[in-house]
Structure 1
Amino acid sequence: MSGKMLLRGTLILAGAALVARVLGVVQRIPLQRLLDDAGMSTYVTSYNVYMWLLVLATAGFPSAIAKLVSEKYALGRPEEGEAIRRAANRYALVAGVGAAALVFALAPALAAVNKDPNATLAIRALAPALILFPWIAVERGYFQGRQRMGANGLSQIWEQILRVVTSIVLAYFLLELGYGIVWASAGASFGGVLGAVAAAAVMLYYGAKLRREPAPARAAAAGDGGAVVAVSAPGVPEAGLTADSAVASADASSFRSIFRAILKLSIPVSITALAVPTIYLIDSLATKPLLIAEYGDALAQEMQGWLTSRAQSLAGIPVIFAIALSQSIMPIISAAFVRRDTPEVERQTSLALRMTYLSGVPAVVVMATSAFPLNTFLFKDAEGSWVIVAMVCSVLFQVLMMISGSILLGIGRPELPMKHIAVGIVVKLALSLALAPLIGIYGVVAGTALCFAVTMALNLRSLRKLIRYEAFGRRAAPFAATVALQASIGAAVGWAVYTYVHPFGVTFWDAMLQTLLAAGTTAALYPVLLLRTGAFVAADAEGLPPKARKLWDRAAPALRKLRLVR
């Protein structure tokens, strides 16, 4: 894949993820007002259980299928690519029905572990979505392998639109009809089922559209970058990545052989992808039991709502670009590694880490410094704002954990991030158990932050032993100064607007204006400080994408007059 194709694919995935995430956060505003913290805690518990099982059933399959399908089309064997798709869809049917049945049967036990029997109905309401999502994951992997990112992006967006609308409408009408919070939470959960239907409809539409294309056009589109969706897997020798990890031609029609090949590629990706959902699931199931003795049932339920409904949803925003980047960078590094192009591996690793710092750190600062007005705007009051600040700050470690794990997968060491994640989860459990009785909800958040930090540190240490990389070099100090200044000024601005800016006399509108002022000012500071401290200099513009380079060229004269460019 050319740099242009890589950038285009990354931007499509990042843009779709951003829209989906924003819609998910927007959904919380009316739901919070309808269900309150206790009802939202029930809703989020069901959602986290569902997400964990969804990742277990599907994670890794899109990447594995994308690699195998793109290889077959690049080699001029489209019939084998279609055989891979059919075999994966058979697995998807079995996995989907099995996962849905498991969730439905275990719902009372999962709710009991969380000491929230009301969650049983909400968990069961989401179960049917698991029938469809493994198939959707397979189709998304197939279209990724065919270099058709638009299908994946639009399916995510329509999934979220229908989920958000139906969850709000169902919760509202169930409350209006007198069914109470338990049924309203279940109605909100059922929105996920209709979201899955929307995503499936989009994938079916794109499948029909692809079949209507002339055969030469289909082959050309697939052949553009077949070799780049290369993913290394345990047990697959370097020399055989194109033959052994895919299926030999003579055996391509064997569903068992195809499934083995997919499994080889998907297992390490699946285990790595389960890290964050597992941590969030632990928080959903363990927070209330850890706090109930000290704070009582009602307050423990409310505090769990601060963490799972408010903090976790906002902490998912700064990681959006890192997720898209990790999906894009792994095949690029894998391709360079297979070619034994060590300088390219090192260059791409340094670039990925630098992009992670440059995009992730300022996003964390913006959200942390505007947490109080943002919390009030989205969730009607400022309860749990410090929990949001702490959780958002943990994202600093999470984004680097994700990128470094993807790079290790790309260079053929998938066992390392798996081991490191296991260590991190042990740290999470131990610290949550030890600290929650001492400092309450902040002990749970501290366990999550240190889990990410330990996993990140182990990943980076392993990377340092295997390859040389340099994220910033001599410009690390200017970048640190940029972040420190942005955080200090942003915190002062956030406090000032939250304390003194109340022009409307209505909490919602005041909080919205405060959020815009605090977040907007802090975000605008970042590029100015980046230039002023010398963390970004004129020579760095050479590495910008073409459109960004054009914008830079237009702005550079004015920036030089202001003495912002070095």
Structure 2
Amino acid sequence: MTNNSRRKQVLTGTFVLTASAFIAKLLSAVYRVPFQNMVGNVGFYVYQQIYPIYGIGMTFALNGLPMFISKLVVDVRDPADQIALIRRLQVFLSIISLIIFLGLQLAAQTIALAMTDGHLAPVIRAVSWMFLFTPFLATWRGYFQGRLEMGPTAYSQVIEQVVRVTVILVIAGWAIHAGADPYMIGELAMFSAPVAGACALLVLLFTVRRKQLPRPSKRANLTPLFRRLIFEGGTLCLVSAVMLLLQLVDSFSVVAGLRHFGLSFAAAQNLKGIYDRSQTLVQLGMVVTMASTTAALPSLSLAHGRGQQTTFDHLAATEMRVNFALALAMSAGLFVLMPQINTLLFSSADLSLTIGVYCVSIVFVTIILTASTILQAVGRYRATMAAIISGVIVKILINHWLVARFSAMGASAATLIGLLVMMIVLRVLAARQLAHLFNGLQVLKLLVVLAVMSLLVKLITSGIAVGFQIPLTRMSAMIEVVIGIPVGVGIFLLGCRVLNVFSLREWFAIPMIGRLMRLLKI
């Protein structure tokens, strides 16, 4: 295969994988809106308490481990050695997954009590079954990605999410008519994870059988690779699961903190269910960033591998600046329109300020993900691992204390502080690789544009409410959101154009805008 045809295959595969990841992430975020509307705040609380465990397992099987394993496969030339590598990794990962499965099964009651709700134990046991599929999903996805065959991974992850979302919404629909207990709903909803994992694995095994792969050799030596699995594979998993780790801390400490704040257990459950809406909105906000960083990694790795430092620096700076600008705009828009968005999606404006503050984390996570992608391209992992672990530890230390004093707002603040610590540690440990990614004048211009955008959008939506004397209902919220979002986007783009916020390269890097500029030949 020539270099050009190989590069074309890499780009095509990256596009397929990015598109499927975008669809999977979008489905994973969007379904929670109707689900919350069906099961209510307490039902949503039950589901979200355990969701981080599922989410972390999913990142192992979908993002972190397959990406790492694909790099191992690329480094092994002989097809028989590649299969030997996959088989032995499956054994190693199966042992780890079995330990996790048994730990969740046997310690479910202890974990539930640590979450201040012993009734969550069956829900924990239900989600534990998905870990039995993780070794095979991760290794076969990594194998095919390493051989530049992105189709099996793409199809399996879309099918996995479609099956899971369908099962969850069917269960929620049944629950409405049956008047089911929230904990039963949560347990049945979490069983969607192993069901979906089984369906995804069937897709992969069908492809494996159809390919007629060679028999594994006996030459593969994995002893030095296990160390890489812990550091490189572990770091990739941590990056993919950064928000889920912080949400897991919330699962253990928010309800307990709210009890110390003075709420009854039922009121704490209800408030935690409302607070959990913020996670859905952040996940929606991160869809574009996740797709962007996935698409940028091959180009960054290629530039670094060829020693093209100038090209690498331009790509890294463009990726960081565009992602940062879009994340900043999205966070500002969500913050300004939060009462309307909250009411439109979840039927009430409760905790809008708390949720709006939490959504600022989109900016911090975007910086962390983009920086880690840049470091990954040059083979640096330990700085990212140290940064994420430091931030999670800080969140653990301060979360309960802040919630006990400031209610749910304390949890939002603790999340932002934890992410800020990650950013600082990452910048200190990887100062050389992350230098010159930001332009001070550009950031200042962005802040001016966003201040004007936020003010005008707030004035317009407030004018609609006051001028027509409309109370905040779902219908009025929809009108204000439908008007406010395009107005905000238009003001943002116009302001960036007037103040020359972006270079031509950066304009072309913005999703949809770049394509529009190419069509118009700007």
TM-score bracket, shorter-length normalisation: 0.7 to 0.9
Name the aligned partner's letter for residue 404 of structure 2: P
Aligned to 2:325: 358
Name the CA shift for 1:69/1:169 in 2 (closer, same or farther; >3 Å): same
2:272 to 304, 307, 314: 304
User: TM-score scaled by structure 2?
Assistant: 0.87
Write the distance in 2 (CA, Å) between the matches of 1:16 and 1:385: 32
1:459: Cα distance to partner?
A: 1.8
How far 1:54 sits from its partner (Å)? Answer: 5.0
Q: 1:479 aligns with which of 437, 446, 450?
A: 446
The residue number in structure 1 matching 2:412 is: 445
Q: Answer yes or no: is 1:24 the counterpart of 2:25.
A: no
1:521 is aligned to 2:487: yes
Which residue number corresponds to residue 532 of structure 1? 498
Q: 1:255 to 1:21 in 2, by over 3 A?
A: closer
Matched, 1:49 2:44: no
Deviation of 1:283 after TM superposition, in Å, equals 0.7
Aligned equivalents of 2:334, 2:434: Cα separation in 1:
33
Distance in 2 (CA, whole Å) between partners of 1:264 and 1:538 is 38
Residues 26, 378 of structure 1: 8 Å contact kept: no
Return the TM-score normalized by structure 1. 0.81
Q: For each residue in 1:2-28, what CA deviation from the matched residue of structure 2 results, as whole angstroms up to 9, or x when unmatched?
A: 886666555544433433333334322
Amino acid at match of 1:552: M
- What are the residue-to-residue correspondences of 1:289-368 with 2, within 5 Å? 289-293=256-260, 294-308=262-276, 310-330=277-297, 332-334=299-301, 336-337=303-304, 340-368=307-335
Superposed CA RMSD:
3.4
Which residues of structure 2 form unaligned runs of 5+?
none
CA contact (8 A) 1:502 1:510 kept: no
Question: Shift in Å at residue 406 of structure 1?
Answer: 2.8
Cα displacement (A) at 1:100: 2.3
Q: CA deviation at 1:487?
A: 2.5
Q: Distance in 2 between matches of 1:498 and 1:449?
A: 31
SS in 2 for 1:350: helix
State the distance in 1 between where 2:101 and 2:367 align: 33
* Aligned twin of 1:66: 70
The answer to whether the Cα contact below 8 Å between 1:126 and 1:190 also exists between their aligned partners in 2 is: yes
C-alpha separation between the residues in 1 aligned to 2:8 and 2:461? 38
- Residue 414 of structure 1: aligned partner: 381
Deviation at 1:518, TM superposition (A): 2.4
Q: How does 1:162-561 map to 2 (within 5 A)?
A: 162-174=163-175, 176-208=177-209, 210-211=211-212, 252-254=219-221, 256=223, 259=226, 262-263=229-230, 265-293=232-260, 294-308=262-276, 310-330=277-297, 332-334=299-301, 336-337=303-304, 340-466=307-433, 468-472=435-439, 474-497=441-464, 507-536=473-502, 551-555=516-520
Count of matched residue positions in the alignment of Structure 1 and Structure 2:
516
Q: Quick one: structure 1 residues 183 and 315, their matched pair in 2 at CA, closer, same or farther if it must change by over 3 Å?
A: same
Offset of 1:329 from its aligned partner?
A: 4.1
Tell me if structure 1 keeps the 8 A contact 2:26–2:287: no
- Partner SS, residue 435 of structure 1: helix
Deviations 1:129-171 (A, max 9, x none): 2211332122222222122333333322222221112112223
Conserved in 2, the CA contact under 8 Å of 1:14 and 1:321?
no
Matched position secondary structure for 1:317: helix
Opposite residue 285 of structure 1, the aligned amino acid is: F
Which residue in 1 is equivalent to 2:136? Answer: 135
Q: Distance in 1 between matches of 2:124 and 2:61?
A: 17
| 2:160 corresponds to | 159
Question: Counterparts of 2:510 and 2:416 in 1: how far apart (Å)?
Answer: 33
Closer, same or farther: CA 159–337 of 1 in aligned 2, 3 Å: same
CA distance in 2 between partners of 1:523 and 1:208 (Å): 48
CA contact (8 A) 2:354 2:412 kept: yes
Letter of the structure 1 residue corresponding to residue 273 of structure 2: G
Separation (CA, whole Å) in 2 of partners of 1:502 and 1:187:
44
- Percent identity between the aligned chains? 21
Which deviates more, 378-387 or 454-463?
454-463
Bigger shift: residues 271-280 or 310-319: 271-280
> Where does structure 1 lack aligned partners over 5 or more consecutive residues?
216-248, 558-566
Counterpart Cα distance in 2 of 1:14 and 1:487: 31
SS at the partner of 2:432?
Answer: helix
Compared with structure 1, are the counterparts of its residues 337 and 193 closer, same or farther at alpha carbon in structure 2 (3 Å cutoff)?
Answer: same
